[in-house]
Amino acid sequence: MPRLFMSNAFFALGKGGRRAPLRFRQGNQNFLVSSPMGLATIWDADILIWATSTMIAAQRCGAPIPAVLQATRYEILGFPGRDVSGGYYERLPDGLERLSRTNVVISTSEWTEEQTGAPWIEDWRISAGVVHIRLAAWLRETVLTPRAVLALDPAYFTLTSGLERLLYLIARRHAGRQRDGWVFEVAHLHRKTGITQTLAAFVAILRRVARSNALPGYRIELSDLNWPERVRFRPVSIVPVDNSVSIPVDNFSRTRLSTPESTPITCENYG
């Protein structure tokens, strides 16, 4: 997943259709994520992770970088390792539509009403059981920037809490495989998640996640169990992780990619 999207809440963390926009500052850039129909969710983002993995796989095997990605519903929905059922098939168009209607504004100045931003997906359609996805140009450029993408633990896709998913992404982005991990002020981390719950409720959630060891590859350490001021994400293992997302070769060989001229490409091996 691109590092840029692993430090703050770029997606709704619930499945209830959040309409309130997300606003935050990251470095010297201001971000605004909004939608007229409800923000794309962190589960919708699995589609983008699949797309990112497919593009990186094409890049690794020396194939032309695809402008339009094509795959069956089963291939896209099965990528995270979930059991693909009729319900998932039926909900896929809704997720694609949310991704196409959610706009992201990245600006070095404050947002204005005139800024409409750009969507995650420029265009999509499903024809004869095949899904065609054209990622937004700005997202393609972000994905293909050298060292812009980090690998995710496959167990990430088993997390059923949107907040736990985001906490994992934040840990992966900041703590990485540093022996001492990364420390946040709890109030700062609360703001980064974009959740509407109070700080006290957020602390209670952190305690629960810390007790359950829910984050794959990381443990949460609170500075004080009564009222913690800081939280540390510490990696369980210091084994290096490859700085890119990839999909298995057999999956890539079944994934149909199209160049801007719509010429199919294949790649039996990459490495």
The stretch 21-46 carries a mean pLDDT of 91
Looking at residues 240-258, what average pLDDT do you find? 38
Whether 254 shows a pLDDT value over 90: the answer reads no
Q: Are 162 and 121 found together in one domain?
A: no
Contact residues for 160 (Cβ-Cβ < 8 A; gap 6+): none
SS3 content of the chain, % helix, strand, coil (to 5): 35, 20, 45
| Helix or strand holding residue 134 (H, E) | strand 130-135
Strand order in the sheet with 29-34: 22-26, 29-34, 103-107, 118-119
Span 223-242, pLDDT tens digits: 887 788 999 999 997 655 44
The tens digit of pLDDT for each residue in 150-160 reads 999 999 999 99
Same domain, yes or no: 255 and 136: yes
Structural domain boundaries enclosing 164: 154-241
Q: Do 6 and 37 share a domain, yes or no?
A: yes
Tokens of 41: 């969710």
25 assigned to some structural domain: yes
- With respect to residue 270, please indicate whether it lies within any of the assigned structural domains: no
- Average pLDDT of every residue of the chain: 84
- At 210 the pLDDT is 94
Whether residues 53 and 5 fall in one domain: yes
What's the pLDDT band for 266 if we cut at 50, 70, 90?
very low
Report the alpha-carbon distance of residue 24 to residue 188 in Å, rounded: 11
Beta strands 256-258 and 68-72: pairing type? antiparallel
Same-domain status, 202 and 254: no
Q: In this predicted model, what pLDDT tens digit does every residue of 59-87 receive, in sequence order?
A: 888 888 878 999 998 899 888 877 677 67
Residue 176 lies in a domain: yes
Residue 124 covered by a domain: yes
Statement to judge: residues 127 and 253 lie in one domain: yes
Residues 10 and 36 in one domain: yes
User: Do 94 and 206 share a domain, yes or no?
Assistant: no
Grade residue 205 by pLDDT with cuts at 50, 70 and 90: very high
- Same domain, residue pair 81 and 128: yes
For the stretch 82-129, pLDDT in tens is 767 767 778 899 999 999 999 999 888 776 656 678 999 999 999 998
Spell out a b/e string for 106-117, using b for 16 or more CB atoms within 10 Å of the CB, else e.
beeeeeeeeeeb
